[in-house]
Amino acid sequence: MSQTPFVPESKLPALGTTIFTQMSALAQQHNAINLSQGFPDFDGPDYLKARLAYHVSQGANQYAPMTGVLPLREAIATKTAELYGYKPDSNSEITVTAGATEALYAAITALVRAGDEVICFDPSYDSYAPAVTLAGGVMKRIALQPPSFRVNWQEFAELLSPRTRLVILNTPHNPSATVWQKSDFAALWQAIKDQEVYVLSDEVYEHICFAAEGHASVLAHPQLRERAIAVSSFGKTFHMTGWKVGYCVAPAALSAEVRKVHQYLTFAVNTPAQLALADMLTAGPEHYRELPAFYRARRDRFVQALSTSRLKVLPCEGTYFLLADYSAISDLNDVAFCQWLTKEVGVAAIPLSVFCADAFPHKLIRLCFAKQEATLDAAAERLCQL
Ligand code: PMP
Ligand code: GLN
């Protein structure tokens, strides 16, 4: 006997399926070249794949320690010391998570209490706000403006309140492809130093930075890192987004709180993948050291291929995304334009307005260039017809 099912009142009533899932599905449906969702159409290093197979064959198939396997935490500590001049303690300050997404969620859940205010910078990555809402927090957004998307620190100071608990930033920034400079971190520190405010620094593209001064990590700032949770993702670094292994670095007291959430969100992360990543970091650090040059070549090829199109390409200082202004081509809004582009032109892209709470009237789309040269050339050829 069937009963009328209950329909729960949604805790996230305004939320639908992510734009990445939507656009990838549309791309597939229309057989379009998919430059929307950010993932490479090539594989990661053979050595990494071989090490995964090796560890599976050796029986490393049971639960990993809750915080991550020790060789991986040690390799992360070594890499962090090399890059940012600070060696976190591998036992108490590094936690391996199921992708950066889990680290972000665990950090927000651990830190944000009901009524707390969380400052973020729009356009902002789509996973932050739902986690803040579920924790009972209130989003306070600073709308960054193209083409530079720089933070106005006066505006930031005005938004700061006694209820501010957390600031969420992302550098190199998805989707704007801009980066924070050391001076931005210095300004952030000046603004929050006298208040109990924490920083969640999403640095998943830390190794895909083209800026002359390199990636400015929160971990390189001696005072800020005492208040910060820095998040990264091996999916981006090793071209393996499907492995979903990430991590966060934070002072012991903050890590302890993040781990309380992590242990009941996933408990532990895929064991053989962690061991393989530890081997890869130790045996092949040149992979991440050479990543900027690897992606710079793809960026430059794609920009060059688009130079005869009517798209106006914005500067790209980091990430594997390129922004393009299509106002010379169409009056459609960005969501409608991306749908049209996918269905009629055969190139899928991401509209920018979906990353903003306020109206974002700019005619900008995001194109992912983590693709084989042939894919980029084919996409550019279609875009140049417009
Ligand atoms: N933050 C940003 C800015 C991202 O672009 C992504 C994924 N593209 C993530 C977090 C999530 O990373 P992961 O796939 O490791 O969960
Ligand atoms: N972060 C990826 C992007 O920006 C997508 C990740 C996802 O699909 N959840 O395209």
- Global pTM? 0.97
DSSP state for residue 97 in the 8-state scheme? E
Beta strand pairing call for 117-122 and 164-170: parallel
Q: What is the mean pLDDT of residues 321-326?
A: 98
Residue pair 248/230 in contact by the 8 Å Cβ criterion: yes
Please list, in sequence order, all residues whose beta carbon lies within 8 angstroms of the beta carbon of residue 214, skipping any fewer than 6 positions away. none
Residue 81 vs residues 76, 87, 184, 219, 279: alpha-carbon distances, Å: 9, 4, 21, 9, 18
Neighbours of 101 (CB within 10 A): 18
The highest-level CATH class for domain 46-284 is alpha beta
Is the pLDDT score of 2 beyond 90?
A: no
State in Å: Cα 172 to ligand 2 middle.
14
State in Å: Cα 314 to ligand 1 middle.
22
Is the pLDDT score of 134 beyond 60?
A: yes
Q: What angle do CA 148, 154, 160 make, to 5 degrees?
A: 115
Neighbours of 124 (CB within 10 A): 24
Is the pLDDT score of 1 beyond 90?
A: no
Tell the burial category of 83 from Cβ atoms under 10 Å away from its Cβ (0-12, 13-18, 19+).
middle
Q: Give ranges for CATH 3.40.640.10 in the chain.
A: 46-284
Residue 355 beta carbon below 6 angstroms from any ligand 1 atom:
no
Q: Give ranges for CATH 3.90.1150.10 in the chain.
A: 19-44+289-384
Q: Name every protein residue with a CB atom under 6 angstroms from any ligand 2 atom.
A: 18, 20, 37-38, 174
Please tell me the predicted confidence (pLDDT) of residue 4. Answer: 76
Beta strand pairing call for 246-249 and 94-97: antiparallel
Is the pLDDT score of 49 beyond 60?
A: yes
Q: Which ligand is nearest to the CA of 244?
A: 1
Query: What share of the chain in percent tops pLDDT 90?
Result: 99
State in Å: Cα 33 to ligand 1 middle.
21
Q: What angle do CA 353, 354, 360 make, to 5 degrees?
A: 20
Q: Which ligand is nearest to the CA of 172?
A: 1
Q: What is the mean pLDDT of residues 60-83?
A: 98
State in Å: Cα 133 to ligand 1 middle.
19
* Cis ω for the linkage preceding 123 (within 30 of 0): yes
236 SS3 class: helix
Nearest partner of 109 among 259, 325, 228, 232, judged by Cα = 259
Q: What is the mean pLDDT of residues 53-76?
A: 98
Among protein residues, the one whose CA lies closest to atom 15 of ligand 1: 99
Q: Which ligand is nearest to the CA of 266?
A: 1
Residue 318 beta carbon below 6 angstroms from any ligand 1 atom:
no
Please list, in sequence order, all residues whose beta carbon lies within 8 angstroms of the beta carbon of residue 21, skipping any fewer than 6 positions away. 37
Rounded Cα gap, residues 344 and 356, in angstroms = 26
Q: Which ligand is nearest to the CA of 234?
A: 1
- Tens digit of pLDDT for each residue in 100-120? 999 999 999 999 999 999 999
- Tens digit of pLDDT for each residue in 200-236? 999 999 999 999 999 999 999 999 999 999 999 999 9
- Residue found under tokens 């309140």: 161
Residue pair 354/279 in contact by the 8 Å Cβ criterion: no
Residue pair 63/268 in contact by the 8 Å Cβ criterion: yes
- Choose the residue to mutate in 102, 174, 266, 366 for probing ligand 1, maximizing ligand atoms within 8 Å of C-beta: 174
Q: What is the mean pLDDT of residues 259-269?
A: 98
- Tens digit of pLDDT for each residue in 301-317? 999 999 999 999 999 99
The closest-lying atom of ligand 1 relative to the alpha carbon of residue 241 is 14
Please tell me the predicted confidence (pLDDT) of residue 5. Answer: 85
- Tens digit of pLDDT for each residue in 20-39? 999 999 999 999 999 999 99
Give buried/exposed letters for 304-321 (b at 16+ CB in 10 A, else e).
ebbeebbbbbbebbbbbb
Please list, in sequence order, all residues whose beta carbon lies within 8 angstroms of the beta carbon of residue 339, skipping any fewer than 6 positions away. 26
Average pLDDT of the residues of the chain: 97
Residue 38 beta carbon below 6 angstroms from any ligand 1 atom:
yes
Is the pLDDT score of 259 beyond 80?
A: yes
Q: What is the mean pLDDT of residues 133-161?
A: 97
Residue 164 beta carbon below 6 angstroms from any ligand 1 atom:
no
State in Å: Cα 125 to ligand 2 middle.
9
State in Å: Cα 58 to ligand 1 middle.
30
Q: Is CATH 3.10.450.230 the right assignment for the domain spanning 19-44+289-384?
A: no
